[in-house]
């Protein structure tokens, strides 16, 4: 199993933005020095739930601030990007990082309608925009002249420069938040990234993923190779004792999710607009917002034991968010270091 750090830092107010961005760069350097496989970057806008906002710009900074870890998007919201501009930026970062880039793609947020509103995009067009943009990028990376006349883009491209460092193009992977989305990726024979789910749902989806690959004709060796390229996300905090981890991690996790829904709720109150139906008052939180399912915390031995269920699914990589909400950099760095020194060897 590969282990990685998902840099998804909250900035609780505009006054905190610069400090958190600087600390996140320090966290990336520490992650690289500790030997983690990948550093992942998110994309969210206007609310501070991802302080650096833009994974493309921040990936360029990481390409020069780190030397070993791969740099991945988890994910770039493709409905908000022009595909040619994105393809150029990725080609540049591919060179700066000497081929360490993982181009993780998704349609865009399934929750925050204001991400789309701020860019003047109809959120109901997000998936179609994503599909067209991805096809354009893959064609552009061939480095040849081409014309494209689609629903959202009308393009006449002489040739993309710079050409990519990685041939034929940087590694591309899609994210899937739902079983339906995962099945669509599996039917194409491709690996995928899974958002936070319960262990039971994670195991069920990985089994269904393998079954779908068999149905499209892949042999067991090819299936094992695809599974090894798949990733799942968990929030993790490691401390010297279970009690210390409970004291620090649980309040930080709860505050993080309260922050994530704050503007969503405000926009709904002001506009009556939302992407998904708003949950009724008192409803149980979904798995990704549940301490029970989404937060793995404790001493190194406890965390290793809890993560053994994910290891048993055979999934190739774990996307770990270490910094949770208002958690300090020092607490995050200690957790990141303990995980590397004591949890990874146990797994």
Least confident of 244-258, 269-283, 299-313: 269-283
- pLDDT mean over 296-305: 98
Does residue 162 have a cis peptide bond before it, meaning omega lies within 30 degrees of 0? yes
Instruction: List the structure tokens of 268.
Output: 């709904």
Is the pLDDT confidence value at 183 over 90? yes
Kindly indicate whether the domain formed by 2-346 is annotated with CATH number 3.40.980.10: no
User: For position 344, what pLDDT does the model report?
Assistant: 98
Per the prediction, the chain carries an average pLDDT of 97
- Kindly list the domain boundaries of the chain, sorted by start residue: 2-346
User: For position 305, what pLDDT does the model report?
Assistant: 97
User: For position 148, what pLDDT does the model report?
Assistant: 98
pLDDT tens for each residue of 280-297: 888 888 888 999 999 999
User: For position 281, what pLDDT does the model report?
Assistant: 83
User: For position 287, what pLDDT does the model report?
Assistant: 87
Where is 296: in which H helix or E strand?
strand 295-298
- pLDDT mean over 6-29: 98
pLDDT tens for each residue of 244-270: 999 999 999 999 999 999 999 999 999
User: For position 272, what pLDDT does the model report?
Assistant: 96
Is the pLDDT confidence value at 132 over 90? yes
- pLDDT mean over 173-188: 96
CA atoms in the 13 A half-sphere facing the CB of 341 = 12
User: For position 284, what pLDDT does the model report?
Assistant: 87
Between the alpha carbon of residue 98 and those of residues 20, 162, 331, the distances in Å are 27, 13, 32
Instruction: List the structure tokens of 80.
Output: 């908000």
* Residue 246 to residue 299: CA distance in whole angstroms: 10
Task: Give, as one character, the DSSP assignment of residue 125.
Answer: G
Is the pLDDT confidence value at 224 over 90? yes
- pLDDT mean over 194-210: 96
Burial class (CB in 10 A: 0-12, 13-18, 19+), 119: middle
- pLDDT mean over 134-146: 97
User: For position 282, what pLDDT does the model report?
Assistant: 83
- Asked whether the beta carbons of 199 and 311 are under 8 A apart, the reply is no
Split at pLDDT 50, 70, 90, the class of 154 is very high
């Amino acid at each position: 199993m590969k282990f990685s750090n998902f840099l998804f830092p909250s900035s609780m107010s505009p006054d905190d933005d610069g400090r958190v961005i600087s600390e996140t760069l320090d966290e990336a350097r520490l992650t690289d020095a500790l030997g983690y496989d990948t550093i992942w970057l998110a994309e969210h806008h206007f609310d501070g739930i991802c302080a650096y906002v833009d994974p493309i710009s921040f990936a360029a900074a990481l390409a020069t601030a780190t030397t070993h870890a791969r740099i991945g998007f988890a994910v770039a919201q493709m409905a908000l990007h022009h595909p040619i501009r994105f393809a150029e930026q990725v080609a540049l970062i591919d060179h700066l990082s000497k081929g360490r880039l993982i181009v993780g793609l998704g349609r865009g947020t399934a929750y925050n309608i204001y991400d789309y509103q701020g860019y003047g995009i109809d959120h109901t067009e997000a998936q179609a925009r994503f599909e067209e943009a991805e096809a354009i990028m893959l064609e552009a990376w061939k480095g040849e002249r081409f014309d494209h006349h689609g629903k959202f883009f009308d393009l006449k491209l002489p040739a993309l420069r710079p050409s990519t460092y990685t041939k034929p193009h940087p590694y591309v992977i899609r994210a899937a938040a739902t079983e339906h989305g995962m099945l669509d990726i599996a039917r194409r024979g491709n690996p995928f990234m899974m958002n936070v789910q319960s262990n039971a749902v994670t195991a069920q989806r990985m089994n269904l993923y393998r079954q779908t690959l068999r149905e499209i004709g892949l042999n067991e060796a090819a299936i094992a190779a695809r599974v090894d390229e798949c990733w799942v996300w968990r929030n993790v905090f490691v401390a010297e004792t279970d009690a210390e981890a409970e004291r620090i991690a649980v309040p930080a996790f709860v505050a993080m999710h309260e922050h994530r829904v704050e503007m969503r709720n405000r926009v709904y109150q002001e506009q009556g607009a939302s992407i998904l139906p708003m949950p009724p008052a008192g409803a149980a939180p979904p798995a990704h917002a549940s301490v029970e399912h989404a937060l793995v915390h404790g001493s190194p031995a406890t965390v290793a034991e809890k993560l053994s269920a994910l290891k048993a699914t055979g999934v190739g990589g774990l996307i770990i968010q270490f910094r949770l909400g208002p958690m300090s950099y020092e607490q995050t760095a200690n957790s990141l270091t303990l995980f590397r020194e004591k949890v990874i060897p146990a797994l």
